[in-house]
Amino acid sequence: MHPWQALEGARVLDLAQPMRTGMPQSPNHPPFRMTLERRHGDLVRPDGGSAANELIVTGGHVGTHVDALAHVSQDGLLHGGLPAGEAMSQHGFGSLGIEEFEPYVGRCVLLDVTAVHGVHTLPPGYEITPADLSRAATGLELRPGDAVLVGTGWSRLWSSPEEFTGLRTGVPGPGAEAARWLAGHRPRLVGGESIAFEHIAPGRGHATLPVHRVLLVESGINIVETMRLAELLDSGAREFLLVLNPLPIVGATGAPVRPLAILPGEGP
Amino acid sequence: MHPWQALEGARVLDLAQPMRTGMPQSPNHPPFRMTLERRHGDLVRPDGGSAANELIVTGGHVGTHVDALAHVSQDGLLHGGLPAGEAMSQHGFGSLGIEEFEPYVGRCVLLDVTAVHGVHTLPPGYEITPADLSRAATGLELRPGDAVLVGTGWSRLWSSPEEFTGLRTGVPGPGAEAARWLAGHRPRLVGGESIAFEHIAPGRGHATLPVHRVLLVESGINIVETMRLAELLDSGAREFLLVLNPLPIVGATGAPVRPLAILPGEGP
Amino acid sequence: MHPWQALEGARVLDLAQPMRTGMPQSPNHPPFRMTLERRHGDLVRPDGGSAANELIVTGGHVGTHVDALAHVSQDGLLHGGLPAGEAMSQHGFGSLGIEEFEPYVGRCVLLDVTAVHGVHTLPPGYEITPADLSRAATGLELRPGDAVLVGTGWSRLWSSPEEFTGLRTGVPGPGAEAARWLAGHRPRLVGGESIAFEHIAPGRGHATLPVHRVLLVESGINIVETMRLAELLDSGAREFLLVLNPLPIVGATGAPVRPLAILPGEGP
Amino acid sequence: MHPWQALEGARVLDLAQPMRTGMPQSPNHPPFRMTLERRHGDLVRPDGGSAANELIVTGGHVGTHVDALAHVSQDGLLHGGLPAGEAMSQHGFGSLGIEEFEPYVGRCVLLDVTAVHGVHTLPPGYEITPADLSRAATGLELRPGDAVLVGTGWSRLWSSPEEFTGLRTGVPGPGAEAARWLAGHRPRLVGGESIAFEHIAPGRGHATLPVHRVLLVESGINIVETMRLAELLDSGAREFLLVLNPLPIVGATGAPVRPLAILPGEGP
What ipTM does the predicted assembly reach? 0.97
B141 — phi, psi (to 5°)? -95, 130
| A191-204 residue pLDDT tens | 999 999 999 998 87
CA distance A227 to B204: 44
| A155-203 residue pLDDT tens | 999 999 999 999 899 999 999 999 999 999 999 999 999 999 999 998 8
CA distance B45 to C201: 41
pLDDT for position B205: 72
Whose CA is closest to C64, among C24, C36, C33?
C24
Contacts of A58 in chain B (CB under 8 A): 55-56, 58
pTM over 0.95: yes
Strand-strand pairing, A53-59 and B53-59: antiparallel
Which secondary-structure segment (H or E) carries C149? Answer: strand C147-151
CA distance C31 to D139: 50
Suggest the residue from B2, B28, B32, B40 to mutate for an interface test with chain A (most A CBs closer than 10 A).
B40
Inter-chain touch D105–C39, beta carbons under 8 Å: no
Q: Could you give the 3-state DSSP secondary structure of residue A164? A: helix
CA distance C51 to chain D (A): 4
Residues 6+ apart with CB under 8 A from D112: D136, D151, D233, D238
pLDDT for position A266: 75
CA distance D63 to chain B (A): 18
Contacts of A3 in chain B (CB under 8 A): 6-7, 10, 240-241, 262-264
CA distance C62 to C55: 16
CA distance A237 to A112: 10
| A212-255 residue pLDDT tens | 999 999 999 999 999 999 999 999 999 999 999 999 999 999 99
Chain A: touching chains (3 or more CB pairs < 8 Å)? B, C, D
Average pLDDT, stretch B200-207?
Answer: 80
Contacts of B39 in chain C (CB under 8 A): 39
Instruction: Out of A37-41, B14-18, B113-117, C2-6, pick the least confident.
Output: C2-6
Contacts of A31 in chain C (CB under 8 A): 31, 33
| A107-119 residue pLDDT tens | 999 999 999 999 9
C95 CB-contact burial (10 Å; exposed 0-12 / middle 13-18 / buried 19+): middle
Q: Which residue of B has its CA nearest to C38?
A: B35
- The full DSSP string for B205-233 is TTS--HHHIIIIIIT--EEEESB--HHHH
Q: How many CB atoms lie within 10 A of CB B145?
A: 12
Contacts of B33 in chain D (CB under 8 A): 30-31
Inter-chain touch D50–C262, beta carbons under 8 Å: no
Average pLDDT, stretch C207-235?
Answer: 96
Contacts of B33 in chain C (CB under 8 A): 55
CA distance B190 to B222: 6
| Mean pLDDT per 10-residue section of chain D, whose length is 268 residues | 91 98 95 98 94 98 98 98 96 98 98 98 96 98 98 98 94 98 98 97 81 98 98 97 98 98 83
Contacts of B57 in chain C (CB under 8 A): 55, 57
Q: Could you give the 3-state DSSP secondary structure of residue A35? A: strand
In angstroms, the Cα distances linking A184 to A143, A178, A180 are: 11, 10, 6
- The full DSSP string for chain D is --HHHHTTT-EEEE-BPPB-TT----TTSPPPEEEEEE-TTTSB-TTSEEE-EEEEEEETTSSSEEE-GGGEEETTB-GGG-BHHHHEETTEESSS-GGGSPPEEEEEEEEEHHHHHT-SS--TTPEE-HHHHHHHTTT----TT-EEEEE-SGGGGTT-HHHHH-TTT-B-EE-HHHHHHHHHT--SEEE-SSSSSS-B-TTTTTS--HHHIIIIIIT--EEEESB--HHHHHHT--EEEEEE----BTT-SEEE---EEEE-----
| B215-266 residue pLDDT tens | 999 999 999 999 999 999 999 999 999 999 999 999 999 999 999 999 998 7
| H-helix segments, C78-140 | 84-87, 113-117, 130-136
**Portion of chain A with pLDDT greater than 70, in percent:** 99
Q: Which residue of D has its CA nearest to B92?
A: D37
Strand-strand pairing, A53-59 and A239-244: unpaired
Cβ proximity of B38 and B53 under 8 Å: yes
CB pairs C-D closer than 8 Å:
324
Inter-chain touch B35–C35, beta carbons under 8 Å: yes
Average pLDDT, stretch A126-143?
Answer: 97
CA distance A37 to chain D (A): 5
Average pLDDT, stretch C62-73?
Answer: 98
pLDDT over threshold 80, residue C207: no
Inter-chain touch D245–C245, beta carbons under 8 Å: yes
Contacts of C36 in chain B (CB under 8 A): 37
Facing C2 at nearest CB: one of D16, D239, D258: D239
CA distance B166 to B193: 13
pLDDT over threshold 90, residue A1: no
Q: Which residue of A has its CA nearest to D36?
A: A37
pLDDT for position C205: 72
pLDDT over threshold 70, residue C250: yes
CA distance D70 to chain C (A): 8
CA distance A124 to chain D (A): 30
CA distance C252 to A40: 20
Contacts of A89 in chain C (CB under 8 A): 42-43
Facing D260 at nearest CB: one of C12, C41, C245: C245
Which secondary-structure segment (H or E) carries A211? Answer: helix A210-212
Average pLDDT, stretch B162-187?
Answer: 96
Facing D12 at nearest CB: one of C56, C103, C264: C103
Chain B: touching chains (3 or more CB pairs < 8 Å)? A, C, D
| C122-159 residue pLDDT tens | 999 899 999 999 999 999 999 999 999 999 999 999 99
CA distance B24 to chain A (A): 14
Suggest the residue from D21, D61, D245, D266 to mutate for an interface test with chain C (most C CBs closer than 10 A).
D245
| B46-60 residue pLDDT tens | 999 999 999 999 999
| C82-130 residue pLDDT tens | 999 999 999 999 999 999 999 999 999 999 999 999 999 999 989 999 9
Q: Domains in chain C and their CATH numbers?
A: 11-263 (3.50.30.50)
Suggest the residue from B36, B58, B88, B90 to mutate for an interface test with chain C (most C CBs closer than 10 A).
B36
Chain C: touching chains (3 or more CB pairs < 8 Å)? A, B, D
CA distance B57 to B65: 15
Suggest the residue from C55, C86, C90, C253 to mutate for an interface test with chain B (most B CBs closer than 10 A).
C55
CA angle B261, B266, B268 (to 5 degrees): 145
pLDDT for position C267: 59
Mean pLDDT of chain C: 96
Q: Using pLDDT thresholds of 50, 70 and 90, give the confidence band for residue C203.
A: confident
